[in-house]
Amino acid sequence: MRECAICHTTTEDHVLECPNCGADLRVDSVRAHALKAILESPRAQGVYIVAPFHACPACRLAQGTYPKDPAVIPELPVEGCSCPGGCTCRYEPLVVEVGP
């Protein structure tokens, strides 16, 4: 499911425009904003895509660590996802800190 970051309306994965406010969900979804924040963070060394244990094969294939290069990071929801209720993958920052 996609969630609009502006009005928080949820839609199915294939919907690209929020039916409530008209936002472009490729840019103004909660997931897209999360990825943008990770890419802009100086503390994040990379991006990790997390797929839940019950995820479909397409989501499990996308799970993993990616460099902070938008060209190589898969867009969420995962294309070809067959999870009941839609893709539930999410972006997480890869943070490596050493010291106190």
Q: Is 54 a member of any domain? A: yes
**Is 29 part of a structural domain of the chain?**
yes
What tens-digit pLDDT sequence spans the chain (100 residues)? Answer: 899 999 999 999 999 999 999 999 999 999 999 999 999 999 999 999 999 999 999 999 999 999 999 999 999 999 999 999 899 999 999 998 765 6
Range of the domain at 12: 2-95
Domain count, the chain: 1
Q: Which residues contact 84 (CB under 8 A, 6 or more apart)?
A: none
Q: Quote the pLDDT of residue 97.
A: 77
Q: For residue 100, is it within any domain?
A: no
Instruction: Give CA–CA dist 19/25, Å, rounded.
Output: 10
In the DSSP assignment, the letter for residue 78 is P
In a domain, 73, yes or no: yes
pLDDT of residue 90: 96
